[in-house]
Each structure stands twice: as structure tokens, then as C-alpha cells.
């Protein structure tokens, strides 16, 4: 499988690991990493999000955790081949059982997999990760997050209200919500939700990926200008 090249790093891919996708790119570019020093990515996959965060903040150290052994190995290779190798570590393990070593994270990020409930024939990757959903991440993160930390997730928009209620039950409160539209004038597709231990006013933002079919919006181009190597059209 061909590698995915960015300006400062390259993502090698594998058939048994979720590929580079728009959701991961958006999470890596949008989530607030400005004050993070110790971050955890849950479901690290190829390592894309961790690499983007490391590029955006030269002070942050990131642990990428994945239940898929192939993913953990691949992410580790991608980390070692990057300029940020000394700040990135790939760990193979199940988030449900994960216990950090005497530390709390001030940023926990994830692009959790979601599957149609009617899907009967899920592939091996899907079966391995099916139980890693937003609610589990919120529940576990509540005990791992520092007092001033954030949890940042990208999820299908239809799950947002339910996840916000679940987070509230664990004393995590929404502080930022990004509404993501696939195309101008189209339906709401995704939300990036950021939660904090501190309850306060929610900042809401709108984001459009394409201004017209196969034409990236100026908003998307500006967001990803430090990462992508491409024109304003989808190839």
C-alpha cells in the first residue's frame, strides 16, 4: 500500500490497519493542543493524529495506544521515521485495561470507530475495535485526566447529544463543539467535542470541508496548509 506523504512526515499504511482518513486529519488539525505537555491518543492506528499533534506543539509528549498489534507496530515505525521520534511512543494494549504509569494526561484524543448496528459481516479490524467507543473513552478518561486537561473526540453528529450527557455523568463538561459539514449547504456530518473538568460556556464553531464537489473549501485548505501537499482539488 502506498505511503501517505505529508510535509514533515510520512505515513506508511497496512491492509490490517485503518487508513489515513478525513476524520483523523480534522481531529489532528483542530483539537486544542496548545497547552498540552502529556497526551494520550486512544486508538492510535497509523499514528497520524499523534504525529500531527507533535508537529503542532513542540513541547508535547504523546503515547499512542492501540489494541491492534499491527497498528501499534506500524505507528511505532512511522514515529521513528519522523522528526518527532523522541516525543512519541506506540503502545500495544486494550484501553479498557490500560493503566498509565503514575501520571495524568492533560490531553486525551481519539477518533473512535463507529459501525452501523445492522452491519453483520465486520472485518477483523472492526471486531477488534468494536467496543472502543466514545462512551468508554469518556468513562476511562475521567480517571486519567489532569485537573486542567481536555478530552477531544471526533464522532458522527448523531451521537453528540448522547455523548455529552454521558460525559456529564462523569463530571466532564463540553467546552468546545465544532460542527463539521462535508460540503457547503450539506447536512451536518461530524462533531469534534472537547470536554473539561471545568464547567463553563461552550464555544461553537462551523467547519466546511468542500465548497463544491471535489473542491476543498478555503477553510479546509488553511487548516491543513502546514500538513498536506496538494492543490485545492481532490485528486
* Number of domains composing the chain: 1
3-state secondary structure of 23: helix
Which candidate, 80, 36, 29, 32, places its Cα nearest to that of 58?
36
Looking up residue 28, the CATH number of its domain turns out to be 3.40.50.150
**Would residue 9 count as lying in a domain?**
no
**Would residue 13 count as lying in a domain?**
no
pLDDT tens-digit readout, 72-95: 999 999 999 999 999 999 999 999
Q: What's the pLDDT score for residue 131? A: 53
pLDDT tens-digit readout, 38-72: 999 999 999 999 999 999 999 999 999 999 999 99
Supply the mean pLDDT for the chain. Answer: 91
pLDDT band at 133, cuts 50/70/90? confident
Kindly tell me the sign of the dihedral angle through the C-alpha atoms of 126, 129, 130, 135.
negative
Amino acid at each position: 500500500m502506498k505511503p501517505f506523504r505529508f510535509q514533515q512526515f510520512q505515513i506508511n499504511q497496512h491492509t490490517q490497519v485503518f487508513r489515513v482518513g478525513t476524520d483523523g486529519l480534522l481531529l489532528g488539525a483542530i483539537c486544542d493542543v496548545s497547552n498540552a505537555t502529556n497526551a494520550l491518543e486512544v486508538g492510535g492506528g497509523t499514528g497520524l493524529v499523534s504525529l500531527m499533534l507533535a508537529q503542532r506543539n513542540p513541547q508535547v509528549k504523546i503515547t499512542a495506544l492501540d489494541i491492534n498489534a499491527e497498528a501499534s507496530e506500524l505507528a511505532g515505525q512511522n514515529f521513528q521515521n519522523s522528526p518527532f521520534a523522541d516525543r512519541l511512543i506506540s503502545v500495544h494494549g486494550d484501553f479498557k485495561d490500560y493503566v498509565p504509569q503514575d501520571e495524568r494526561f492533560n490531553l486525551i484524543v481519539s477518533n473512535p470507530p463507529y459501525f452501523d448496528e445492522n452491519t453483520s459481516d465486520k472485518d477483523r479490524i472492526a471486531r477488534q475495535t468494536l467496543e472502543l467507543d466514545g462512551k468508554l473513552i469518556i468513562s476511562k478518561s475521567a480517571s486519567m485526566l489532569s485537573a486542567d486537561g481536555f478530552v477531544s473526540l471526533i464522532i458522527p453528529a448523531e451521537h453528540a447529544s448522547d455523548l455529552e450527557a454521558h460525559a456529564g455523568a462523569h463530571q466532564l463538561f463540553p467546552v468546545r463543539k465544532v460542527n463539521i459539514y462535508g460540503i457547503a449547504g450539506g447536512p451536518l456530518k461530524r462533531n469534534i467535542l472537547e470536554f473539561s473538568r471545568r464547567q463553563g460556556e461552550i464555544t461553537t464553531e462551523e467547519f466546511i470541508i468542500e465548497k463544491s464537489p471535489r473542491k476543498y473549501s478555503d477553510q479546509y485548505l488553511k487548516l491543513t496548509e502546514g500538513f498536506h501537499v496538494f492543490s485545492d482539488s481532490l485528486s
